């Protein structure tokens, strides 16, 4: 993996397309991607910014959630990770990486489209971590559809439940456990501001995440709890190769960014660390774009 501490041209820091054709079934596995994403397994260096924190990260088996979980552990936090049972192989690697830092890792496999499970996973995280003060809502569902009529009610429902309903259920369950100084971080997308024609339902949910989090931030500050949004651009994750983009588009994913490449998950992890930490004490209700130069407005 690249040495992130050495000054270098960011355009050439990570692999550029074209990439091999690599379709995967949903939900996809990071280990099967070519090139394998850099989540910070060897490249992220911690500095104790989250010492003693207790975090729950959804969608933490791979992609951005995995990078955030690894970074949190390197910064001194205990971490509970939520993921689908089908993602166990990737999740097991994350558990090992967290434990290698001497931190507590809690594995919570389950389907967040189920309300009862969303509430139970929060309860288990609080119980097994001994509390909760950082909540990262990151798990997402994305499937590319060429036109409006290919988006079935089932498709629409799954995207809404994964990306919006689960956020609401998990947040409702978590807030009573969060102390003053705690942080909630949601994951939206540049799609909230510049939606792709083939991601109609996904883009709709990402705009909803922005609105929900801004309203939440206004509510929770009276409790001393901050809430902010991270809005990624094109990042190299299994979400893309498992139907989030057409197979041919995956081969050229990130090519149109100003960098000429997609971002690697480790490149966004420091933003989650900042927003979770006390260094972000005056940051609330904000949207942090990490888009490779595309902007978010």
The rounded distance, in Å, linking the Cα atoms of 94 and 154 is 31
Please count the other Cβ atoms lying within 10 Å of the Cβ belonging to residue 148.
9
The rounded distance, in Å, linking the Cα atoms of 180 and 265 is 29
Q: How far is the CA of 22 from the CAs of 25, 34, 85, 109, 253, in angstroms? A: 10, 8, 22, 26, 12
Please count the other Cβ atoms lying within 10 Å of the Cβ belonging to residue 36.
13
- Of the listed 193, 202, 212, 288, which one is catalytic? 202
Beta bridge partners of 81: 57, 107
The strand pair at 105-109 and 54-58 is best described as unpaired
Determine whether 281 is exposed, middle or buried from the number of CB atoms within 10 Å of its CB (0-12, 13-18, 19+). Answer: exposed
Which residue bears the tokens 């929900």?
212
The answer to whether residue 165 is catalytic is: no
The rounded distance, in Å, linking the Cα atoms of 265 and 124 is 27
The rounded distance, in Å, linking the Cα atoms of 280 and 44 is 20
What one-character DSSP code corresponds to residue 148?
G
Q: Which amino acids are annotated catalytic?
A: 202
């Amino acid at each position: 993996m690249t040495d992130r501490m050495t000054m270098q041209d960011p355009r050439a820091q990570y692999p550029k397309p074209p990439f091999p054709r690599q379709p995967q079934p949903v939900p996809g596995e990071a280990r099967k991607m070519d090139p394998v994403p850099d989540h910070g397994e060897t490249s992220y260096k911690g500095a104790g910014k989250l010492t003693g924190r207790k975090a729950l990260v959804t969608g933490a088996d791979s992609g951005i959630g995995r990078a955030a979980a690894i970074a949190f552990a390197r910064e001194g936090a205990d971490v509970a990770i939520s993921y689908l049972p089908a993602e166990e192989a990737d999740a097991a690697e994350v558990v090992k990486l967290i434990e290698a830092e001497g931190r507590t890792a809690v594995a919570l496999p389950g389907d967040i489209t189920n309300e009862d499970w969303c509430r139970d996973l929060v309860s288990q995280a609080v119980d097994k971590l001994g509390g909760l003060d950082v909540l990262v809502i990151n798990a997402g569902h994305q499937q590319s559809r060429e036109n409006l009529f290919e988006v079935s009610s089932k498709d629409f429902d799954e995207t809404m439940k994964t990306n919006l309903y689960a956020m609401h259920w998990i947040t409702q369950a978590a807030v009573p456990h969060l102390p003053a100084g705690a942080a909630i971080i949601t994951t939206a997308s540049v799609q909230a501001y510049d939606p792709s024609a083939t991601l109609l339902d996904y883009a709709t949910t990402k705009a909803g995440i922005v609105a929900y989090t801004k309203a939440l931030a206004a509510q929770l500050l009276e409790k001393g709890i901050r809430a902010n949004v991270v809005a990624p651009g094109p990042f190299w994750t299994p979400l893309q190769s498992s139907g989030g983009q057409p197979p041919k588009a995956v081969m050229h994913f990130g090519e149109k960014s100003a960098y000429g490449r997609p971002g690697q998950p480790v490149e966004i992890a420091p933003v989650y660390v900042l927003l979770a930490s006390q260094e972000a004490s005056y940051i609330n209700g904000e949207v942090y774009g990490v888009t490779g130069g595309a902007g978010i407005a």
